[in-house]
Structures are given as structure tokens and as C-alpha cells.
Structure 1
Amino acid sequence: MIFSPHILQVKVITKPKKDEFGRPIPNTCREDWETVCGCRCDDNTTKEFTSDNGSVFRPNYHVVCEKKVSLKAGDEVRCLDGETVRACGTIYTVKSTNYFNYSELWM
């Protein structure tokens, strides 16, 4: 992709460590944001998805990634524009292309 002004990050949650009795150790659980790739994040107002039960979902953002990503529906991601957060949310669906090396996310 030629134009990727934003940075895609995914939330990574580390599980708490446990002591010899299986009890969780306090302050060992962390939430970090891991950088995935460059992307272009656009506001979405046109694309609608219909689920199997007939409910309609209209995602707020459409993200085009500059490479194929291993993210899946339900992952929490955010797009950064410099130091500010442009978009943040949960992935609804991921589409990858066969020939071109990019992915699309709707969140």
C-alpha cells in the first residue's frame, strides 16, 4: 500500500503469574499495545453487514493494513495518528486478499 499514514496496534493482555499454590500474584497482569503495521483508517458510513439472524451491523471504521495480518474478529485494536488515537474498537470482520499483500478490517 502506498499511503499508510496511521499505525495499527493490538491490545495484548498478559495473564497473571501464579504462586506455588496456584493463587494469582498481584500486579503481574498487564495490558500493553503492540504495534502490528502501518495502515489507513477511514470513517465508515456506507458498509453494512447482516448477520445470520438478520441483525444489521454498521462498523464505525474501515482500516486497510499494508500487509496481511493475523488478527481475528473480537480482537481489540486502535489506530494511531502520530501520538493521538484516531480510532479504537473491537474488530467485527477481517478480510485478506489472495494476490495482493494487504488486509481490511471493519471495527
Structure 2
Amino acid sequence: MIYSPHTLQVKVVKPLEKDDYGRPIPGTGGESWVDVCKCRCDDNSTKEFTSDNGSVYRPAYHIVCSGKISVKAGDSIRCMNGEEVRGKGLVYMVKQLNMLNYSEVWV
């Protein structure tokens, strides 16, 4: 992708480790943000999706990444513009195109 000013990050949650008795060990586990790829994050207020049960969903952001990405529906992601958060939320849908080699994510 020629124009990709933002960085896509996914939240990784590491569970607490447990001792021999099944008790959580303090100081283990936690959350961190991991870089996935460069991307373009656009505000989206026009596209609507209708689920199988008839509910309508209008995503707030449309993210385009080059290549195939490992993000799936339900993941918590954010797009960074330098140190500033451009957009964040839960992934609603991911589309990966074969011929054009890019992925689309709706948040």
C-alpha cells in the first residue's frame, strides 16, 4: 500500500501464572500492545452491516492494511498516528483480498 501513515496494534493479554496450589502469582501476566503492520485508518459513518438476526451495525473506523494480517473478529485493536491514538475498538469484521493483496478491518 502506497499511503500508510498509521500503525495497527493489537492488545495481547497474558494471563496470570499460578503456583503449585493454583493461586495466582503477583506480578505475572498483564496487557501490552503489539505492532501488527502499517495501515491507513479512515473515519467511517456511511457503511452499514446487517447481521443474520437483523441488527444493524455501523462501524466507526475502516482500516486498510497491506498483505494478510493475523487480526480476527473480537480482537481489541488501535491505530496509532505517532504517539496519538487515531482510532480504537473491537474488530467487527476482517476481509482479506487475494488478488490485490490487502486486508480491510472494520472497527
Query: Counterparts of 2:48 and 2:101 in 1: how far apart (Å)?
Result: 24
Q: Using the TM superposition, give the Cα deviation of residue 27 of structure 1 relative to its aligned residue in structure 2, in angstroms.
A: 2.2
Matched, 1:25 2:25: yes
2-structure distance, mates of 1:82, 1:67: 22
Structure 1 stretches lacking a partner, 5+ long:
none
| Residues 66 and 103 in structure 1, CA contact (< 8 A), matched pair in contact too | yes
- TM (norm. structure 2) is 0.97
Any runs of at least 4 consecutive aligned residues in structure 1 with deviations exceeding 4 A, and if so which?
none
Partner residue of 1:62?
Answer: 62
CA contact (8 A) 1:72 1:91 kept: yes
CA contact (8 A) 1:44 1:60 kept: yes
Report the more deviating stretch, 79-88 or 22-31. Answer: 22-31
Runs of 5+ in structure 2 lacking a partner?
none
CA RMSD of aligned residues (A): 0.7
Equivalenced residue count is 107
Structure-to-structure mapping, 1:3-42, within 5 angstroms = 3-42=3-42
Query: In the aligned structure 2, how far is the partner of 1:19 from the partner of 1:64?
Result: 43
* Cα pair 1:42 1:63 within 8 Å, conserved: yes
User: Alpha-carbon deviation of 1:67?
Assistant: 1.9
> Could you tell me how far apart the structure 1 residues matched to 2:17 and 2:45 are?
43
Please state how far the C-alpha of 1:45 moved relative to its aligned partner: 1.1
Aligned AA for 1:66? S
- Contact kept, 8 Å, 1:37 with 1:67, in 2: the verdict is no
